Structure 1
Amino acid sequence: MADSKVKDMGLAEFGRKELTLAEHEMPGLMAARKEFGPSQPFKGMNINGSLHMTIQTGVLIETLAALGAKVRWCSCNIFSTQDHAAAAIAKAGTSTVFAWKGETLPEYWWCTEQMMTVPGADGCDQLVDDGGDATLLIHKGKEFEEKFAKDGSLPDPSSTTNAEFKCILQLLRDSIQVDKTKYTRMAAKCKGVSEETLRVLGAGCQDFGAICESAKVCVRLRGFHHFGVLALSGYGANQQETTTGVHRLREMAAKGELLFPAINVNDCRFFLLCDCDCVTKSKFDNVYGCRHSLPDSIMRATDVMIGGKRALVAGYGDVGKGCAFAMRGAGARVLITEIDPICALQACMEGFQVVTLEECVGEVDIFTSATGNFKIITLEHMKKMKNNAIVCNIGHFDNEIAMEDLEKCPGIKVENIKPQVDRFVFPDGHGVIVLASGRLVNLGCATGHPSFVMSCSFTNQVLAQLDILENCTKAKNYKNDVYLLPKKLDEKVAALHLPSLGASMTKLSKEQSDYIGVPVEGPFKPVKDMGLAEFGRKELTLAEHEMPGLMAARKEFGPSQPFKGMNINGSLHMTIQTGVLIETLAALGAKVRWCSCNIFSTQDHAAAAIAKAGTSTVFAWKGETLPEYWWCTEQMMTVPGADGCDQLVDDGGDATLLIHKGKEFEEKFAKDGSLPDPSSTTNAEFKCILQLLKDSIQVDKTKYTRMAAKCKGVSEETLRVLGADFGAICESAKVLHETTTGVHRLREMAAKGELLFPAINVNDCVTKSKFDNVYGCRHSLPDSIMRATDVMIGGKRALVAGYGDVGKGCAFAMRGAGARVLITEIDPICALQACMEGFQVVTLEECVGEVDIFTSATGNFKIITLEHMKKMKNNAIVCNIGHFDNEIAMEDLEKCPGIKVENIKPQVDRFVFPDGHGVIVLASGRLVNLGCATGHPSFVMSCSFTNQVLAQLDILENCTKAKNYKNDVYLLPKKLDEKVAALHLPSLGASMTKLSKEQADYIGVPVEGPFKPDTYRY
């Protein structure tokens, strides 16, 4: 285009070839062109953008143009432009482009202003902004124009010593003298912005904060060079693109200072309190993109062999995770620094050593900063590094490495080895090699993230622009606030990218999608064998050493006896680790009654040890029948001399269900005299529940009503689902559901006034959900298979059904043991994650006859059907690590005509079909890790159970002592989640990095945390 300004139009032909290649790798954008191109939704509109001017961005620009937009573009970073990409776009006339690699600061801000200045119009209709500089300029421009109109004062570049701020103030000063309302009109014209990375204005240069005090859009200052609107990178010192900025935008919106609606594309659903993040941007760009581009850029820049080197990654957020796995995958020995105890504990669970930079600075070969904070790698650090240590940054901006201090160091010499590779030589003769001048190494020394990953990110941008069109331009549905793309669109983005990876998606049946239920089983005696108590006590003593969180809770809270005189009852797997939890509650003063939440999960020596010690009254043994199981649950809940427990611990929701259903049927009986009818269902478990309640009402007509009034709150771990037939019988009780969905059900009940007491959702604490589900299953699945079968896992083909947190742990465990792992999935986002980790996504039908080991980890029912098992190879192993037993169609298998069952040993059965071939089913299709082994290791369970103790203390403070909580669902505060992680780090030899006051202020967190918002996905 005539007014484009790029470095060399002669590069256009090369750029066009690259664009053509990139299109093949960007299926999401190509699908958007195909779907929306014919209707030209952006026809006649100006869409302007500030985003790295790369080949991938070129495909985004041409997609917006293909949908009818007139586009103007600049880069959001002075070094990130690929000049051949800018030339190709400019020459094609697809967009007016103002961008070249190596812009000066005045040139950068000139380009930004030119991009925003639309000839013949007041500005753009919609805006794409990565870093927030364009958003900043509109807000600051309008503010200074209003100030000029009020008192005639102009922006004063001499009021700051910061070079970049001088540029901005000079630009606005010049603008106002030419056009006094340019940015005011621009703000009115712009209907909305899709923000990608929201940058921070921080404490580094407080003078500009003082100058611009009234504009809360400039909240934190990055330091020097690039700065931006709101929080860029890393909430805590660990993630490049996160949350503070969104909070700032929300604050602005709340104060009426945000000038137009903003779509948060970086995190999409990241901040909806009831939902999770948009994985197709935040996870794929940050984890998988950095995993690809970090080693690529280091190798291109230095030709150094990464294998065998010691590599340090500062920060273990999504970006840091991608970097750490990349460097380990390339053969480096990787160290991690972290300020956030949860992220640090995750790093430990992945086998990384967590250190402080000071501990190892003289031993590391390659340093990568990925924190989003400033001066992570200081001049003092670099002085102590070994000769020719490589230093780079993969954060969005340049001040993670103290480049200004390095450049001004007395006696420093700079040797330019090649473009973007400089050796800084100290007076003593040793030097450090700094890549990309401390800026984004993957764009400075390589070509950034691969096209496929950027297709995910940029398809979200297109959808965000369409969302703005519908809800801001055509209609006024959005106020000046921050919005998130719907989860359905997130899944759509993922689904668009799966075919090119050869992934086959599993489809739910109507029954499975309607599914809201699971079977169980039950007892009639307290424990199986008190003679096992001594053995159990020895195991409990060993477990205490591995459960530092619970032991710390005893030490901290024991002396004050907070639960003194209270009855705390629990339904949770009666294992050795649960025994330590029970004795912790007792050590804090509680009177405890307990049962198991699964008929096979009890460890009889644990139950005997607890019962013999008198720590708790226990009703649990391994292998309960269904009537026994529900008898145990009722006995646990029935407190002699009291109406019930004061507080409840519940894993699976059965105890919560019984109280709600009991009260419901008691009210029905009082109203019309009708009793629960066991004959109204064919389901064996529902028959047990209805019979139990029928018998109870005939003895005590208000037992569960009084129990509900007595119970002040419950800490729920895994929330179960009721099946369709019982749902019809018990239609009003929505209390049960598995995990996240269950929480939605509880919230629905609370909204309808049906929840009888407050519930603390322990399952979604990070130190429960990630550690128990991912790392616990990673440990216990291969352990249980090996104990049960003595089969060599290495070399086998293993299928994991489901790639949620549990499935991820299982998949990595089986791959780690040498298996060739296949994944089945219904969710395109999880399927795409599996593909990014190198797993093949298939349907069960495609591979059922070739797989050696099947593991179901979905939370749904009949995942592995009788027809599947008939087609399996002889002696295929089938197991389930979901909470209940009907993921494998055991009832159909047991009733199959001609089937024979050979019991090989306890919990290992071979089902032989009439044709002579058989399948080996572990733990009768129930939890294999508790049926065939001892469950998750004590250390992981210490994390989960410390949350339970803190949840019970939270209920005590907010429900029992005070009435701060309504009958609703609550999460533990992030501070407590981080405390749980911190309690477990010393035993792993982890050393935590401490923020300085300036660094903490820079990213808007307290020095001691919490370091993340409640909705952050680790």
Structure 2
Amino acid sequence: MSKNYDIKDLNLAEQGRKRMDWAEKEMPVLRLIRERFEAERPLEGIRVSACLHVTSETGNLMRTLAIGGAEVVLVASNPLSTQDDVAAALVAYEEIPVFAIKGESNDVYYQHIKAGLDHNPQITMDDGADLVHGVLKERPDLIAGMYGSTEETTTGVIRLRAMAKDGVLTFPVIAVNDSDTKHLFDNRYGTGQSTLDGIIRATNILLAGKTFVVGGYGYCSRGIAERARGLGANVIVTEIDPVKALEATMDGYRVMTMEQAAAYADFIVTATGNKHVIDQRAYATMKDGCVICNSGHFNVEIDIPALEAMSLEKRQPRTFIDQYWLKDGRKINLLGEGRLINLASAEGHPSAVMDMSFANQALASEFLVRNHGKLSNGVHSLPKDLDVEIAALKLKAMGIDIDVLTAEQVEYLNSWQEGT
């Protein structure tokens, strides 16, 4: 095998294959799509560059794309999220070039992004829009050959809509995150469980009885709040949107500003997609020993430079914890360098929810191929019928039956003549 990859250690491949096989048992929808892809080869000869978290679930998506005929290259979408054994397994057993190393520097991270672009992709698959950003900023020569892109996460969709608004997004992008079978489940149940898993692994601190602040009340944040309350924490939500703030209040949470909440907090978690959600104003009111972390895609949600400027020194009492000693004697504990804590110190979302998310990714790539030249430039949602198909397959795999409308009921719903 020629060395067209950059990973930590090829000798980790066997453990990575076991990890992917274990995850695959919880991914029945993607398995059914893979079986169809193997028979139909809808991606035959299509060059795909994927910038995703390199996990066991992602490994199974890469297998699916490759079996469908795609020529795939995978790069990391976060310096701390790579599972090195999975990267090795994809290279050794699937012959998929991977450029990802857990703990890679920012320079190496962008070298790996460049490697994904050097594949001359016809489809890019993003988790945060870094490949699309690279195409537009550094490799505009690729645009003429692009079928389009798919985007996995809320943060990436925010970036893409900004690109479209500025008129620079010159090819179609499927906002996979907008699919109901993605954001209603992955964002809420996946982020909720995996974020708490990451915090507990990093700190081993009991959450019951603690005050737990959640920045934002979108689908990711409400999942985190729900799981924290389930573990016995007293949850406070911060928001900028009056409707979401009202919803959080009606769901039984205290709602206040971040500056107010920080004074009570034992833990603060952000998941908003915005920058400096925790800033100098919040640091000024935090209790000694407060634990802060982020579950949004980029590490800008926590203003780390401001924290460093307020500190005399930094220590590391445990792996994944940077403890900042402030000039006034307080200590603030930052988890996972401010990066996604569910992937920095844990394993990311459970396979069962990624099954639906990556089913969306696989079908979105097929949709781009089938509709090449028909879609306008900009951000598109995956068609509703594909969303429904994924949900139906998931229910079938879980052994759950649901009702079907009778002909009489269909007629009633489509008619206005029948009165009360």
Per the normalisation by structure 1, the TM-score is 0.39
* Closer/same/farther in 2, CA of residues 633 and 810 from structure 1, 3 Å limit: same
Q: Name which of 302, 317, 329 aligns with 1:904.
A: 317
Equivalent in the alignment of 1:924: 337
**Deviation of residue 958 (structure 1)?**
0.5
Measured after TM superposition, the shift of residue 717 of structure 1 is 2.2
SS of the residue aligned with 1:799? strand
1:560 to 2:40 alignment: yes
Cα separation, 2, equivalents of 1:549 and 1:648? 22
> What is aligned with 1:652?
128
What are the superposed Cα offsets for residues 963-1012 of structure 1, whole Å, 9 maximum, x if unpaired?
Answer: 2223233221111001111111134332211111221232249xxxxxxx
Q: Is the counterpart of residue 973 in structure 1 residue 386 in structure 2?
A: no
Residue 608 of structure 1, aligned match among 88, 113, 120: 88
Residue of structure 2 in register with 1:939 after alignment: 352
Match of 1:709 among 130, 144, 153: 144
Q: Does the residue aligned with 2:324 lie in a helix, a strand or coil?
A: strand
Q: Could you say what secondary structure the match of 1:616 adopts? A: coil
Once the two structures are superposed, the pairs formed by residues 539-558 of structure 1 within 5 Å of their partners are 539-558=19-38
The amino acid across from 2:226 in the alignment is F
- AA of the residue aligned to 1:585: L
- Which residue of 57, 60, 63 maps to 1:577? 57
Cα deviation per residue 1:366-413 (whole Å; 9 max; x = unaligned)?
xxxxxxxxxxxxxxxxxxxxxxxxxxxxxxxxxxxxxxxxxxxxxxxx
Rate the CA distance shift 1:647–1:744 in 2: closer, same or farther, 3 A. closer
Distance 1:987 1:875, change over 3 A: farther
Paired position in structure 2 for 1:298: none
Q: Does 1:777 align with 2:191?
A: yes
SS at match of 1:985: helix
Residues 814/560 of structure 1: CA separation in 2 closer, same or farther (3 Å cut): same
- Counterpart of 1:622 in 2: which secondary structure? coil
The aligned counterpart of 1:766 is 180
Which residue identity does 2:67 align to in structure 1?
A: A
| Structure 1: unaligned runs, 5 residues or longer | 1-523, 663-703, 721-737, 1006-1018
Amino acid at match of 2:161: H
Judging changes above 3 Å, is the alpha-carbon distance between structure 1 residues 806 and 916 closer, same or farther for their aligned structure 2 residues?
A: same
Conserved 8 A contact 2:11-2:88: yes
Q: Deviations over 1:662-717 (max 9, x none)?
A: 2xxxxxxxxxxxxxxxxxxxxxxxxxxxxxxxxxxxxxxxxx24322122111122
> Are 2:5 and 1:529 equivalent residues in the alignment?
no
* Distance across 1 between alignment mates of 2:81 and 2:414: 45
Give how far 1:874 is off: 2.3
Cα separation, 2, equivalents of 1:1004 and 1:585: 40
Any residues of structure 2 matched to 1:565-714 within 5 Å, and which? Answer: 565-639=45-119, 644-662=120-138, 704-714=139-149
Structure 1 Cα separation of the partners of residues 169 and 160 of structure 2: 12
* Counterpart contact for 1:583–1:615, Cα < 8 Å: no
Secondary structure at the counterpart of residue 109 of structure 2: helix
Q: CA RMSD in A?
A: 1.9
SS in 1 for 2:198: helix
Aligned-partner SS, 2:300: coil
Residue type at the aligned position of 2:165: E
1:802-825 CA-partner distances (Å, limit 9, x unpaired): 111111111101101110101111
**Runs of 5+ unmatched residues, structure 2:** 416-420
1:821 partner amino acid = V
**Contact 1:653/1:719 (CA < 8 Å) preserved in 2?**
no
CA offsets 1:115-158 (integer angstroms, 9 cap, x no match): xxxxxxxxxxxxxxxxxxxxxxxxxxxxxxxxxxxxxxxxxxxx
- Structure 2 equivalent of residue 9 of structure 1: none
Given that 1:824 and 1:844 are in contact with CA atoms closer than 8 Å, whether structure 2 keeps it comes out as yes
Inter-partner Cα distance in structure 2 for 1:852 and 1:956: 49
Q: Where does residue 803 of structure 1 map in the other structure?
A: 217
Of 267, 273, 277, the residue aligned with 1:859 is 273
Correspondence for 1:998: 408
**Structure 1 match to 2:302:** 888
Distance (Å, rounded) in 1 between the aligned partners of 2:414 and 2:17: 47
Cα distance in structure 2, aligned partners of 1:567 and 1:789: 42
Looking at structure 1, the residues matched to 64 and 293 of structure 2 have their Cα atoms a distance apart, in angstroms, of 33
Deviation, 1:525, is 6.8
Is 1:838 the equivalent of 2:247?
A: no
In structure 1, distance between residues paired with 2:21 and 2:413: 43
**CA shift for structure 1 position 798:** 0.6
Residue 718 of structure 1, aligned match among 153, 161, 179: 153
The Cα shift of 1:633 comes to 0.4
1:719 Cα deviation (Å)? 6.3
Q: Which residue matches 2:364?
A: 951
Name the CA distance, whole Å, in 2 between partners of 1:760 and 1:925: 28
Structure of greater Rg = 1
- Tell me if structure 2 keeps the 8 A contact 1:781–1:813: no
The 3 A distance-change label for structure 1 pair 855 and 633 is: same
CA–CA separation in structure 1 for the residues paired with 2:332 and 2:27: 38
Q: Pairwise mapping of residues 122-141 of structure 1 onto structure 2 (< 5 A)? A: none
Q: Which has the higher contact order (CA 8 A, sep 6+)?
A: 2
Shift of 1:528: 1.1
Q: How does 1:296-445 map to 2 (within 5 A)?
A: none
Matches within 5 A, 1:118-517: none
The CA deviation at 1:848 is 2.1
- Is contact 2:46–2:69 with CA below 8 Å preserved after alignment? yes
Whether the aligned pair in 1 keeps the contact of 2:5 and 2:98 (CA below 8 Å) is no
Alpha-carbon distance between aligned partners in 2 of 1:902 and 1:755, rounded to the nearest angstrom:
43
Three-state SS of the structure 2 residue aligned to 1:660 is: helix
Q: Report the counterpart of residue 384 of structure 1 in structure 2.
A: none
CA distance in 2 between partners of 1:656 and 1:846 (Å):
38
> One-letter code of the match for 2:276?
K
Change (3 A) 1:845 1:647: closer
Give the match for residue 876 of structure 1: 290
1:609 deviates by 1.1
Q: Distance in 2 between matches of 1:932 and 1:877?
A: 14
Given that 2:270 and 2:295 are in contact with CA atoms closer than 8 Å, whether structure 1 keeps it comes out as yes
Q: Secondary structure at the match of 1:879?
A: strand
Q: What is the identity, as a one-letter code, of the residue corresponding to 2:254?
A: Q
TM-aligned CA distance change 1:646 to 1:743, over 3 Å? closer
CA shift, 1:743, in A, is 4.8
- Give the TM-score normalised by structure 2: 0.93
The answer to whether structure 1 residue 813 and structure 2 residue 190 are counterparts is no
Q: Deviations over 1:722-742 (max 9, x none)?
A: xxxxxxxxxxxxxxxx43x44
Q: State whether structure 2 residue 417 is matched by structure 1 residue 982.
A: no
1:746 positional shift: 4.4
Q: Distance in 2 between matches of 1:546 and 1:562?
A: 24
State, as a whole percentage, how many aligned pairs show the same letter: 38
SS of equivalent to 2:184: helix
Which amino acid letter does the alignment assign opposite residue 105 of structure 2? T
Q: Is the Cα contact below 8 Å between 1:593 and 1:637 reproduced in 2?
A: no
Instruction: Provide the rounded CA distance (Å) in 2 between the counterparts of 1:970 and 1:853.
Output: 37
Q: 1:748 aligns with which of 160, 165, 168?
A: 165
Q: CA deviation at 1:647?
A: 1.5
CA-CA distance at 1:553 after TM superposition = 0.3
Equivalent residues, number: 412
8 Å CA contact 1:853–1:876 kept in 2: the answer is: yes
User: How far apart in 2 are the matches of 1:875 and 1:525?
Assistant: 42
Letter in 2 for 1:546: E
Distance in 1 (CA, whole Å) between partners of 2:317 and 2:311 is: 21
The separation in 2 between residues aligned to 1:875 and 1:546, in whole angstroms, is 38
Per-residue deviation at 1:870? 4.3
State the Cα distance separating 1:839 from its structure 2 match: 0.6
Residues 567-625 of structure 1: CA deviation (Å, up to 9, x unaligned):
11111111111111001101111111010111111111111111111441000111121
Query: What is the CA–CA distance in structure 2 between the aligned matches of 1:604 and 1:661, rounded to whole Å?
Result: 29
